[in-house]
Amino acid sequence: MASLLPRIAAVLCLSGAPLWAEDIGDAERGATLFAQQCKACHQIGEGAVNRVGPQLNGIFGRKASSLEGFNYSRPMARMGADGLVWTLETLDAYIENPKALVSGTRMNYRGMKDPQARAALMAFLRDWSDRPQDIPESEPTALKTDPDLSAATLSIQGDPEYGEYLASECQTCHQTDGSDQGIPSITSWPAEDFVVAMHAYKQKLRPHPVMQMMASRLNDEEIAALAAYFATLEE
């Protein structure tokens, strides 16, 4: 099934040794980063098995929460049902800030902010994937990562009263008491997490088409106001 997410065009040699541009990422450095920051929870390579986190062989092109035999968290399972596929774009965003794509993710990792480090890690992950076509082989190679949010956008102080006014549409699906009836709770969310998530929908990093539509209707001040309102609610 075609991914709902934007795809990055690439021309690859799929037989023999894959092409790999130096500016895409240093796989050797990526192996070191994996050993330092990922290995405690994930395995990759020959004989890899699921541990605290799923094994990562064949990660590129894999639908989120689709690996047989691993017990995924409910938030990750929802994102898989929404159509999240691990591509260059989405995997880079997840490594940089897991909550940018999957609110409530079980992955206890603060994220990797250095884009060159992320590129190196993905170059290493690519070595163990048979569907790496989401990684371009030449310029332009700019990575689309966490939602493009300026410091000014993140610093907007939302008006909770205005957010309450705007929230009626949200509350047709999300329960204000924090209960989860098949739709994730957004009550008591940290305001910054809410803002990041909404901009991820707005920029179509998160795949849910209804949420993409809803977020596209909101400007930065309205998103900040909603974030401020839901942060004040108690479960």
Domains present along the chain, CATH in parentheses: 27-126 (1.10.760.10), 151-232 (1.10.760.10)
Instruction: Identify which has the larger pLDDT, 86 or 181.
Output: 86
Residues 6 or more apart whose CB falls under 8 angstroms from that of 65 comprise 72, 76, 77, 79, 80, 81
What does the pLDDT look like over 128-140, one tens digit per residue?
Answer: 887 655 555 433 3
pTM beyond cutoff 0.85: no
Instruction: Identify which has the larger pLDDT, 12 or 93.
Output: 93
**DSSP secondary structure string, 80-135?**
HHHT-B--HHHHHHHHH-HHHH-TT-S--------HHHHHHHHHHHHTT-S--TTS
What does the pLDDT look like over 139-172, one tens digit per residue?
Answer: 333 333 456 778 888 889 999 999 999 988 888 7
Residue 201 to residue 196: CA distance in whole angstroms: 9
- The answer to whether the beta carbons of residues 228 and 163 sit under 8 Å apart is yes
Q: Give the pLDDT confidence score for residue 118 in this predicted structure.
A: 92
What does the pLDDT look like over 7-24, one tens digit per residue?
Answer: 222 222 222 333 333 345
Residues 6 or more apart whose CB falls under 8 angstroms from that of 81 comprise 65
